[in-house]
Structure 1
Amino acid sequence: MSFTLSRRQFLLSGTAALAAGALGTLPSWAQSANLRLIFWGGQARADRTYGVVDLFTKDHSDVSIDGEFLGWADYWPKVATQTAGGNQPDIIQMDYRYIGEYARRGSLASLDSFVGNGLDVSSFDEDQLRNGTIDGKLIGVSLGVAAGATVINTKVLDDAGIDIDPMRWTYDDLLTQGPKVSQKTNGATAMAPDGSGIELLFENWLRQKGKALYADGQPAFAPEDVTEWFELWAELRDAKAIISPDEQAIDTGQLETAPLVRGKSAMNFTTSNQLVAYQTLVPDPLGIGIFPATAPDSKGGHYRNSSQYFALSSTSAAPEKAVEFINFFVNSPEAAAILGVERGVPASSAMRDAVAPTLDERSQMVVKYIADLGEIAGDVPPTPPASAGEVEVALKTKSQEVAFGAQSPADAGPAFYDQVIESLGRAS
């Protein structure tokens, strides 16, 4: 699903659909710069983003900003198509899987010349600047600090008599206690979704085993690791600790289709900043915890990453104005109050201080979760190689083949590994 809203459309209508159909953008003669912005996310993120757009354009009458947002699965094909067609938006929300690839292809501009000259990163955490630096150039401005996390419907677990420590729970807990949710709900709800196709979860599991997804542009795991991963989820599936393949297939990557939102699972494996968005869609109280651990005291699986970045298109006709908006987005206390921690805990210490008094209970949970990771967290991995996005899609596809019985874990492990080798080789 795709929505495109200009600032004027957002202001004059209570719903995106009505505004898009009823209004156009302001006349071109009234604007000296008409910027385009694209990002992934749901309606809650869009509302916050367009709220900041409103603040910015209110004091910058010479700028209009047309925004477009899509779900994760639709977003990257759209960005790729626009890039190939020479029609990139000025400001592009980027993910760590893709930012290196787009930067090295010359699609994203270096921001170094703007630092101290329109872009203030003086209060940014050093690791957040490092995360957005590709080949020695600052390419992406971090929009928040986040980490892999499990969002939990605490009421469903309580009703099923499940008591787990959200910062120490394990795959064994999921296997032994998971069936209780299915039994309590007569099969209507499972404890967790099927995480076998989630790259971030797979990477977390590998890191707990002392391995990684990539090293020097090559896979840092073996075919037998993938087989073991698929076998783990097959055991959970057989125990009815996770949802069925049919239910998992409905999840398209948009929040509205997530099993947690549809009431089909008591959990969702995601990133910490998504707790806020999920709570807007789920009536029951939600909590947050780590991804399942391989053992209660396991460390190193998680890491504090940049949830996403704003990057500047190398073809932008108004780069100074685009950077001015990005700077406002990450450094204005008024913007921080609107954004909260939906995109992650602010990367700027000054903005963290500014937003802290405004946070609601769920937002405070996110901040506390990032702090509580403590020694559980390891180092941020290097920027993934080109085709990392392709590998992410391949894992999801292969996991579905295993879940539906089209391929055994023993065959799927080597098959997926070969796909990774082929994808990385093609990209290099």
Structure 2
Amino acid sequence: MSDTITAVRAALLHFIADPAITGDQAYQYFPDGLLIVKNGYVDQIGDAEQLLPLLPQSITVNHYPNCLITPGFIDTHIHYPQTGMIASYGEQLLDWLDKYTFPAEMAFVNQAHAAEVAEVFLDELLRNGTTTALVFGTVHPESVDAFFSQAQQRKLRMIAGKVMMDRQAPEALLDTPDASYQQSKALIERWHQQDRLLYAVTPRFAITSSNEQLAKAGQLLQEFPDVYLHTHLSENTDEIELIKQLFPDAEDYLDVYDKHQLLGSQSIFAHGVHLCDDQCRRLAETDSALAFCPSSNLFLGSGLFDLAKMEKYGVKVGMGTDVGAGTSFSLLQTLGDGYKVSQLKGQQLSPLKSFYLASLGGAKALNLDSKIGNFAKGKEADFVVLDYQATPLIKYRLEHTTDLAEKLFVLTMLGDDRAVAATYIMGQLAYQKEKV
């Protein structure tokens, strides 16, 4: 069988390390670059003038003038069942869950409804250049079946799981420790490692899981050591106070999870806004990761994530849109909010670090950097083409930029889904913006 070769030409950027640590050595940039994909995997990147003569004449080059190719964006925390309730007004976390989230999630007992929402959700991800996401389902196994079925059809690398929730929520959304274990186990056996799909054991957060259920989550991680753990941590001060009441024997919020063996290299905790030094140290020791969700944290008034503190302790960090408390599927907009959060903390989030967090940083947080996150030879060829002329304002502003970092910053501050010209999955075009 002959090889399938795709060649895409534009400016090209990817990261090989964290720019906060290695500076300009952290990335490769080709002002006129060529990405060559063979059978869905990265084969070569480099200057277009050097690589074009090496291509067989039969290969068509997809040329995107005035555009930038980057690895596909990686969203390390998002809720697909909340797609239909994004931009719901006026509450902080716990009241917001009761008023909007739980009622919306009750409908996912119906697999046809779940499939319909999953289709809209995945369309939005691709339209925004997101090619991998760590995704919450609902308590219903049907929600996960529907999501994975849709993701599999699109050949996407996605991670998802059924919510485990046995208290502190409406009766219609509760399972039991044993039922959550049995249902999660069946879903793992059905979906984990099927094509590009991966499973995450998903207790919603410690408030809605008893000690018995968290122990079952830990049991699943022991029995299936290559699955993920995905939950929430220290998002909101009222949440943290309730945790103290519910788990009086725990030293702190993170310790609740730690006592149940839920920390590790495949454990991702969303938010981590209010963490002390000891908790940061423990996350780093166990190689656990945090999802930085600035848009959601601002929207719910939860607080300001301390990225510099996480860098100090060496905690892995990826970016999360956290839709539906997050107000956009766009990781460009999320990076813009991340910059603003850092400003409020008296810190600076550089444009290069931003794009690192949305690509290789996210891949490292998900322990998937051997497969995705940059254009190293042999990586899965998921990538996004960003349009430097997406809007009149972006086009005008970029005419006044002087270097790459400034161009990236403009994209994070002024960009959104309109800036995505195309999204490719395994080297194949999966989304293309309609020409106006």
Whether these two folds match at TM > 0.5 is no
TM-score scaled by structure 1? Answer: 0.24
Q: TM-score w.r.t. structure 2 length?
A: 0.24
Question: Which has more helix, going by share of residues?
Answer: 1
Specify which structure has the higher proportion of strand.
2
